[in-house]
Structure 1
Amino acid sequence: MPDPATPSETATPVTPPGARHRLVDVPGGRIHLVEQGSGPLVLLVHGFPESWYSWRHQLPALAAAGYRAVAVDVRGYGRSSKPPAVEEYRMLAHVADNVGVVQALGEKTATIVGHDWGSNIAADSALLRPDMFTAAALLGVPYAPRGGPRPTEAFARIGGDEEFYVSYFQTPGRAEAEIESDVRGWLAGFYAGLSGDTMPAPDEPSLYFVPPAGRLRDRFPAGPLPAWLSEAELDHYAGEFERTGPTGALNRYRNVDRDWADLAAWHGTPLTQPSLFIGGALDASLAWMADAVKNFPTTLPGLVASHILEGCGHWVQQERPDEVNTLLTEWLDALPAR
């Protein structure tokens, strides 16, 4: 469809020079994306609580390396569709969105790259549609096939008297109340709490757990922004969530049991395409999912390389853009031609 972005949107200073905004129709609604470059398609999928903007450093680097880099706003974020029902944020819907984007762009195949929840979405897109997603790069969150007990039951057993953040996010309206009271401040604290240079010390209470009658933000660090995040960049993120609200983003967490049921046929299934993993050494995801990393020889038999960046937290492609760009382009360049 024609690009419907307004002049103010296409001229926004946060857009990398040479990139353009588009809205494309997919079966589930519309997806907003930012694209740059020409060549083999590389689809970039963000996590929580971010947007296409988390790939602002990768778009020009991948374009310069000869790729068509496309960063989407996942449904519920930014200018993409925000369906009202919780179940419309199940994993199968996100996979369908990615398939629809590739088709809307006139392509038949793509390499998919994801961070945080986007890592899970990228992995499941490649798992369910290996004909279309011929390689996958996973950032921050390692691949773990469907398995184990029902996710909400497992999360409920974590933390003792305190509540694991994924459990805290399950009830509609609960996390929204604390976020919407101060969107910019909440985002600043969440980004800082998971960033390598500003996260709490290991001996401090974990911000991933909510004390009884408390809020998630009660343990956010008080201090400066992470080095990778300027005031203007925070303003952009806050502006997106001020406009859209956080419910669509939080609804991804509210589908973990539904995903577990939907993907029963893929229980324990490895991801066999060529793959790449990049994580931050200080990211708690690697500690919680150490077994998933250990099992890569079985679960990711096509793994080309796994890189753990020392001193880096959760926001790998923003905390270490140059390193991630180099690792991504070297991996992409070595993939079989498609």
Structure 2
Amino acid sequence: MQQAVSPFTPAGAQHRMVDVPGGRIHLVEQGAGPLVLLVHGFPELWHSWRHQLPALAAAGYRAVAIDVRGYGRSSCPEAVEAYRIGAHVEDNVAVVRALGEETALIVGHDWGSTIAANSALLRPDVFSAVGLLGVPYAPRGAMRPTDAFAMIGGDEEFYVSHFQEPGRAEAEIEQDVRGWLAGFYATLAGDTMPASGEGSVFFVPKGGRLSDRFVKDRPSFLTDQQLDHCAAEFERTGLTGALNRYRNMDRDWEDLAEWDGAPVTQPSLFVAGELDASITWLADAIEAFPSTLPGLVSSHLVEGSGHWVQQERPDEVNRLLTTWLRSLDDPTPPAPARTR
């Protein structure tokens, strides 16, 4: 057992390190009952689930939030290809086994949503249900991802393309990690995001930086102390491990050829902030849910929230998560619900 590494650890939660193929994963767990694995996105840490851990524990679940490989206290392999989707799935399976369990429910946000969906797709024997926050499931398609991204944006560069070259984004971010994180979090938060028509933060101006369109305000969900903690972790590790997830999208496309267009059939949940830009540029993926997520139990847009939905609206997300989890034990669940 490891001593707490964050002043924001919920009372009663414990930190652990567990072995996975090729490294170790740091996790924070709380509660007893069915295992719920919580997977964060970019650029976050286990800390983004700080509100969900006690709520899920109180509802009768064993809630476990991990630092994804490349982040926080988890291993950060040097090789770019060590961050392909299959490696993350293997990490999740290894965490479940290290905790003495055979199966788990899995919930992810942002990149964690994609990792969670593919964990359910590739290992349905381990992951019996999947909750997706912020980013909808989109099966492997016909076009290589980097080719598709290169076709959008006109004179500006899509942020995923901007992240592809090792060292390029790091050169911008690591000059001022705290300032960059503060701007990125604020620009995608519901109460501080820029007005529409001011240029998209998802595109890099020609000759400019991604951060050129960041706002300077502080979102209400994030205190100075919490920002200090996140910044200190990324200052210690650097951003390469986190960015390497983006640099494996073509490898993922190659690795998932056998699952081209495949649905995730387990019971599922989708929750996003109504102001999250992801639900606009990934609208087609949401519309395809009847075929791509045939086990969808409910889908919700959370009023007033931006991208960081489980931090911006923790009470609402906790209610939606616990309601969904409890519905999985109901032999006659209600028809799929879609709410705002």
Q: Who is 1:211 aligned against?
A: 205
Whether contact under 8 Å (1:275, 1:304) holds in the other structure is yes
Q: Distance in 1 between matches of 2:102 and 2:34?
A: 10
Residue 93 (1) aligns with residue 87 (2): yes
Query: Match for residue 271 of structure 1?
Result: 264
Between the aligned partners of 1:313 and 1:148, the Cα distance in structure 2 is 30
Structure 2 residues without counterparts, runs of 5 or longer: 332-340
- Partner residue, 1:188: 182
Pick from 97, 110, 115 the counterpart of residue 116 of structure 1: 110
Distance 1:165 1:333 in 2: 38
1:253 partnered with 2:246:
yes
Secondary structure class of the residue paired with 2:36: strand
1:221 deviation in Å?
0.8
Asked if 2 retains the 8 angstrom alpha-carbon contact of 1:28 and 1:97, the reply is no
Superposed CA offset, 1:32-73 (max 9, x none)? 000000000000000000000000000000000000000000
In the aligned structure 2, how far is the partner of 1:28 from the partner of 1:314? 32
Q: What is residue 37 of structure 1 aligned with on the other side? A: 31
- Provide the residue aligned with 1:319 in structure 2: 312
Contact 1:140/1:314, CA 8 A, preserved across alignment: yes
Q: What's 2:11 paired with?
A: 17
Counting only pairs closer than 5 Å after superposition, residues 41-190 of structure 1 correspond to structure 2 as 41-190=35-184
**Misfit runs of 4+, over 6 Å:** none
CA distance in 1, matches of 2:316, 2:142: 34
- 1:228 equivalent in alignment to 2:218: no
Q: CA RMSD in A?
A: 1.1
Cα deviation code 1:103-128 (max 9, x no counterpart): 00000000000000000000000000
Report the Cα offset of residue 207 of structure 1.
1.0
Q: Equivalent of 1:242, from 235, 246, 259?
A: 235
CA distance in 2, matches of 1:286, 1:236: 29
Separation (CA, whole Å) in 2 of partners of 1:24 and 1:287? 38
**Pair 1:295-2:288 in alignment:** yes
**1:335 equivalenced with 2:305 (yes/no):** no
Q: Is the 8 A contact 1:45 1:119 kept in 2?
A: yes
**Cα deviation per residue 1:160-210 (whole Å; 9 max; x = unaligned)?**
000000000000111001111000000000000100111111010111110
Once the two structures are TM-superposed, the CA of residue 337 in structure 1 deviates from its matched residue by 8.0
- Check whether the contact 1:116–1:141 (CA below 8 A) recurs between aligned residues: yes
Query: SS state of the match for residue 92, structure 1?
Result: helix
CA-to-aligned-CA distance 1:99-153 (integer Å, 9 cap, x gap) = 0000000000000000000000000000000011000000000011111300000
With 51-60 and 307-316 compared, the bigger mean Cα shift is at 307-316
Letter in 1 for 2:275: L
Amino acid at match of 2:230: Y
Residues 2-34 of structure 1: CA deviation (Å, up to 9, x unaligned): x2x24xx35x42111000000000112100000
CA distance in 2 between partners of 1:280 and 1:83 (Å): 33
CA distance in 2, matches of 1:172, 1:104: 32
AA in 1 matched with 2:279: L
The letter of the residue matching 2:231 is A
The percentage of counterpart residues that share the same residue type is 74
Cα distance in 2 for partners of 1:106, 1:323 equals: 31
> Residue 44 of structure 1 aligns to a residue in which SS?
strand
2-structure distance, mates of 1:126, 1:294: 20
Q: Work out the CA distance in 1 between the residues paired with 2:168 and 2:284.
A: 31
Aligned length: 331
Ranges in structure 1 where 5+ consecutive residues have no aligned partner: none
Paired letter, 1:328: L
Partner of 2:273: 280
SS in 1 for 2:77: coil
